[in-house]
Structure 1
Amino acid sequence: MVRLSPSRLHDSLRSPALGSIGFLNEVMTRFPDAVSFAPGAPHPGLVADLDVQRCIDRFLDHLVHEEGHTPKQARLRLYEYGPSRGLINGLVGEALRRDLQIDAPSNALVITVGAQEGMLLALRALFRPSAGDVLAVANPCFVGITGAAGLLDIPVVGIDETETGIDLDGLTAACHRARADGRRIRACYVASDFSNPGGNRMSLECRRQLLELAEREDLLVLEDNTYGFTTAPGHELPSLKALDKDRRVIHIGTFAKVCFPGARVGYVVADQPVDGRGRLLADELAALKTVVTVNTSPLGQAVIGGMLLEHGGSLAELSRAKSELYQRNLNQLVDALDRTLTGRVPPGVEWTRPAGGFFVRMRLPVPADVELLEISAAEHGVLWTPMAQFYLDGTGDCQLRLSCSYLDPDQIETGVRRLANFLDKEIGQ
C-alpha cells in the first residue's frame, strides 16, 4: 500500500489556518449547546422563506422577455455548462452602476464561484513568483486570500491595519524594501469596509491616498467588498473601485451575505486593459476559469439573478433587510459587552466598537489560544475565534474575534453573560 509522506505534499496543507478552521468546526460539533460567536456565516432566518423556484422562474422570464430567448432556449441555458464569464453579468453590472457607482460593463465582469474563486483567479493571473512578485495584505487578514496565495506559492507581506485603513507609510516602505531586494509589490489586498477579521473601515482620505500610492508605486489593489452592505444608511463611502480613475482596482464581491452562501456566486470587476486590441483582465480570468471550475453553476446564477430582479435590479434593495438585521445584532453585541463587562472584567481586557460588519475584536492579557477556547466551550458554554491565524507576524496571540451574524438578540445576551463569567474566572485568576 502506498504511503504518502506529508513532507512531499504541498506546503499549504500545513498552514496553521487550515488546522484552526478544522478545530473550530470540531469544537462546535462537540459543544452544540454552547453559544457560538465563532462563525461569520449569514443569519439562517434570512432564507427561511426563500422560494428558489420563484427566483428561477423570474430569471427565466427575464431571459425570454428581455434577452429574446425562446422558453426552450432559456431553460437549456440553466441545464448546460454555460459561458465561463457568466450568465448574469448584465444584471450585476447594472446593479453595481446603480448602487455603488462602479462602471462595470459585462465584458469587464466575471461571475465566479463565490469571492474565493475570484481571489484565486486574480492572483493566478497577476502573479509570477519567479519574477519576484509579492502580495501585500492588511494585517490581520482574511485567511481566504492568504490561503489562496499559499496554494499558488505567492510570497505575502503583511501591512498593519489601523483604525482608518491600511498603514500607507508601511505599504510604501514595503514597496521600497521589495525593490531593494530585486522584487516588487505587485498588488495589495484590502477590505475597505469592515474587514474580516479586523472590523476596521477605511476612511475616505485613506482610500484616496491608497489609490495615489498605487499609481506612484505601480501596483494594483484587490478590493474585497463583502461587508460594505452593512453600512448604516447615510454613512456610505464610495468604494475604491468607484474612486478608481486609473483602473488600478480589481473589485471582488459576493452574494453569499446579501443573498445566501449556498448559491456559491460571486463576481470580479477586472477592467484593466491587457493589450492594445481591447482585451481586458476579465478575459484572462474567464480563460483561467475554464480550467478551474469551467463555469459558475447556471442554476445558482439564476437564483441570484431572480432575487436581483425581484428587488428592482438593486443591490441596495436586495440587501436592505439583511443590513438592518446585522446592524441590530452588532449594536446588540457591543451594547451587551459594554453593559456586562465594563467594571467587571480584569485589567487588559478590551474590545472594539465597529460601526458595521460582523465582527468585534477583543484583546486579553493572556494568549487566546485553542486551549483557552476549549475551556471556554467546555466549562462556560461560549465559543469564539482565536485571532492568531489571521496575523502574519504572530502579534495576534492575545486577541479573539466575536461574530454576531449568526445569532439572535437573546443568544447574544446569553453569550455575553457566559463570556463575562469565563473572563472573570479564567482570566481574572
Structure 2
Amino acid sequence: MTFLNEVSHRYPKAISFAAGRPYEGFFAIEDVHRYIERYCAYLKEERGFSDAEVRRALFQYGRTKGIIHELIARNLELDEAIRVDPESVVVTVGCQEAMVTVLRALRTDERDVLMMVSPSYVGITGAARLVDMRVATVVSGDRGVDFESLDAVIRETRENGLRPRALYVVPDYSNPTGQTLSEEDRRRLLHRSRAEGFLILEDNPYGLFHGVLERQRTIKALDRDRRVVYLGSFAKTGLPGARVGYVVADQIVTGGVEGTQLLADQLAKIKSMVTVNTSPIAQAVVAGRLLENDCSLVEANRRETALYQDNMRCVQAALERHFADIPGVSWNRPDGGLFIVVDLPFAARDDELEHCAQDHDVIWTPMAHFGSDKRSQRQIRLSVSQLSNAEIDLGVERLRSFVDERSGSTE
C-alpha cells in the first residue's frame, strides 16, 4: 500500500486503478454531525439515557467490546440473516484489529497454523506475522478454494506435528481476485471445518456490492455449529475514516480460571491491552448511518452498489474493446465487488508498474503482492471504485498501449 501510494503521489496525472477505497463523491462533512446527532437521539429516546449519560457514552472510554454491538447484531440479522447475541460482537479499530486480535487468541503455541486462500489480502499475512503465527497457503483455483489443495495442506500440516487452527477466506468478491464461492463450496468448507476441527475466519467487506446475480448467503448464515468467526468492517459500507470494524465470535470457550465463556470475551481481554476500546465518537458516526437506514446497509449503500456495478460493467466492456485481439491477455468477470484481475503475457513487477505510470499514465496493482505462485507474477489487479466511465475507458486504452510496448519482449 505504501508503494502504491508513493507511485500515485509521483504521477498525480496518471489514471489509477490501484486504490481499493470506496467512492468519495458521496461523502459529506455534514453527514458526520447528523449521524452523531441521530445516535444521541437513539440513546435518549430508545435507550432512556439522560443527557449526562449520553455525554459519557460519547466522550469517555466506553466498554472494550463496543457501544453499538446491539445495532451491529440488528444489521446482521436484517441484511445477512445472521442471528447472534450482541454480546458475541466485539467492535474493533477497523477489521485489521479484528484480524490481529482473533489470531492472537487462536495462537496458543508455535504449532498453530493459519491457513489462507492465496492470492489473499496482504493484511491477514501481516496480522499473522505480528502474532508470530505460521501461515500455510491454499490454492484458490478457479472456484475460489481448491479443496484438494486444502486437504493436502491439512494433511501436511499434521504430518509435520502442527495444528491447522483456522482458514481465512473472503467468499464474496474477494480482494484481490474478485472471486465468489458457490453455496455448494461454502457448505463444503463448513463440512471440512467440522470434520477436521478448524475454524473458518470469514471476511466480508464486499458482499453487499453484488451485480445482477442473487447474493450468496454468507458462510456464517449457513453455520449451525459455530464454526465461523465473522469479520466485518464499515470501511467500504460506511466510511473508512471512522476506522470501525467488528468480529462476531460466538464460539464457547472452556477451561482456565474463567470457566466457560464466549470467544468474544477473550478477544475483549486482548483488545483491552492493545487499544483499550474503539473510539465511541467513531462508533456513533457508524451507528447514526445505520439508524438512518433502519439498520440496513443494503439500503444505505444503494447508490454505491449501483455505481460499482456500472463501473464493473464499464471496465469489462473496455477490456473487451481494447484487448479482445491480444494473445496472452485475459481477465475474469466478477458479477460484483471492486476488483478484476487481468492476465498478461509478461511479468508485471513493481518496476513495470513504475514504467507504466511514468510513460503511459496509468496505474494498477501487481498481483505478485498478493500471491507467490507463478501465475500471480503475470497478473494485475484493477479496482473499479474510484473512476468515472470516461476515465475507465481512457485508462484501459493506455493499458493497451503499455501492453503493446511490452508484449514484444515476453518472459
The TM tier, using the shorter chain, reads over 0.9
SS in 1 for 2:253: coil
Structure 1 counterpart of 2:170, from 191, 194, 208:
191
Partner in structure 2 of residue 32 of structure 1: 12
Structure 2 counterpart of 1:246, from 225, 231, 249:
225
Structure 1 residue identity aligned to 2:377: D
SS in 1 for 2:246: strand
Partner in structure 2 of residue 274 of structure 1: 253
Q: TM-score, normalised by structure 2?
A: 0.96
Instruction: Name the CA distance, whole Å, in 1 between partners of 2:109 and 2:378.
Output: 33
Instruction: Name the CA distance, whole Å, in 2 between partners of 1:151 and 1:392.
Output: 20
| Worse-matched range after superposition: 193-202 or 418-427 | 418-427
Q: How far off its partner does 1:83 sit? A: 0.7
Q: How far off its partner does 1:428 sit? A: 3.9
- What do you get for the CA RMSD once the two structures are aligned? 1.4
Instruction: Name the CA distance, whole Å, in 1 between partners of 2:165 and 2:260.
Output: 22
Instruction: Name the CA distance, whole Å, in 1 between partners of 2:211 and 2:219.
Output: 18
In 1, are the aligned partners of 2:122 and 2:370 still within 8 Å (CA)? yes
Matches within 5 A, 1:89-108: 89-108=69-88
Please give the per-residue CA displacement for 1:256-303, whole angstroms capped at 9, x wherever unaligned.
001110000011010000128551000011111111111111111000
Please give the per-residue CA displacement for 1:184-223, whole angstroms capped at 9, x wherever unaligned.
2110000010110011000110000000000010000000
Structure 2 counterpart of 1:301, from 264, 283, 287:
283
Structure 1 counterpart of 2:387, from 407, 420, 426:
407
Instruction: Name the CA distance, whole Å, in 1 between partners of 2:123 and 2:330.
Output: 27
Partner in structure 1 of residue 329 of structure 2: 349
Partner in structure 2 of residue 310 of structure 1: 292
In 1, are the aligned partners of 2:213 and 2:335 still within 8 Å (CA)? no
Structure 1 residue identity aligned to 2:169: V
Partner in structure 2 of residue 326 of structure 1: 308
Instruction: Name the CA distance, whole Å, in 1 between partners of 2:383 and 2:199.
Output: 30
Q: How far off its partner does 1:71 sit? A: 1.7
Instruction: Name the CA distance, whole Å, in 2 between partners of 1:50 and 1:321.
Output: 18
Instruction: Name the CA distance, whole Å, in 2 between partners of 1:52 and 1:122.
Output: 30
| Worse-matched range after superposition: 296-305 or 384-393 | 384-393
Partner in structure 2 of residue 370 of structure 1: 350
Partner in structure 1 of residue 185 of structure 2: 206
Partner in structure 1 of residue 62 of structure 2: 82
Instruction: Name the CA distance, whole Å, in 2 between partners of 1:284 and 1:392.
Output: 34
In 2, are the aligned partners of 1:129 and 1:155 still within 8 Å (CA)? no
1:291 aligns to 2:270 (yes or no): no
Structure 2 residue identity aligned to 1:203: S
Instruction: Name the CA distance, whole Å, in 2 between partners of 1:334 and 1:60.
Output: 44
Structure 2 residue identity aligned to 1:79: F
Instruction: Name the CA distance, whole Å, in 1 between partners of 2:400 and 2:223.
Output: 45
Instruction: Name the CA distance, whole Å, in 2 between partners of 1:247 and 1:71.
Output: 39
Q: How far off its partner does 1:163 sit? A: 2.8
Please give the per-residue CA displacement for 1:340-386, whole angstroms capped at 9, x wherever unaligned.
2211x3x2111111111111111112110011111101110000011
The percentage of counterpart residues that share the same residue type is 45
In 2, are the aligned partners of 1:348 and 1:365 still within 8 Å (CA)? yes
Q: Which runs of 5+ in 1 are unaligned?
A: 1-20
Partner in structure 1 of residue 120 of structure 2: 141
Partner in structure 1 of residue 32 of structure 2: 52
Partner in structure 2 of residue 264 of structure 1: 243
Q: How far off its partner does 1:90 sit? A: 0.5
Please give the per-residue CA displacement for 1:87-136, whole angstroms capped at 9, x wherever unaligned.
10001101101110111211100011111111110000011242x11110
Go from structure 1 to structure 2 and tell me whether the alpha carbon gap of 1:399 and 1:233 turns closer, same or farther (over 3 Å shift): closer
Please give the per-residue CA displacement for 1:392-427, whole angstroms capped at 9, x wherever unaligned.
445411111111111111111111111111111222
In 1, are the aligned partners of 2:244 and 2:283 still within 8 Å (CA)? yes
SS in 1 for 2:53: helix
Structure 1 residue identity aligned to 2:71: L
Q: How far off its partner does 1:315 sit? A: 1.9
Alignment: residue pair count: 406
Instruction: Name the CA distance, whole Å, in 1 between partners of 2:362 and 2:2.
Output: 18
Instruction: Name the CA distance, whole Å, in 2 between partners of 1:184 and 1:394.
Output: 28
Instruction: Name the CA distance, whole Å, in 1 between partners of 2:5 and 2:264.
Output: 35
Structure 1 residue identity aligned to 2:309: Q
Structure 2 residue identity aligned to 1:53: H
Instruction: Name the CA distance, whole Å, in 1 between partners of 2:366 and 2:316.
Output: 19
SS in 1 for 2:402: helix
Structure 2 counterpart of 1:64, from 32, 38, 44:
44
Instruction: Name the CA distance, whole Å, in 2 between partners of 1:384 and 1:52.
Output: 32
Go from structure 1 to structure 2 and tell me whether the alpha carbon gap of 1:382 and 1:310 turns closer, same or farther (over 3 Å shift): same
1:388 aligns to 2:393 (yes or no): no
In 2, are the aligned partners of 1:163 and 1:201 still within 8 Å (CA)? no
Instruction: Name the CA distance, whole Å, in 2 between partners of 1:278 and 1:323.
Output: 42
Q: TM-score, normalised by structure 1?
A: 0.92
Q: Which runs of 5+ in 2 are unaligned?
A: none
In 2, are the aligned partners of 1:367 and 1:397 still within 8 Å (CA)? yes
SS in 2 for 1:303: helix
SS in 1 for 2:251: coil
Instruction: Name the CA distance, whole Å, in 2 between partners of 1:40 and 1:331.
Output: 17
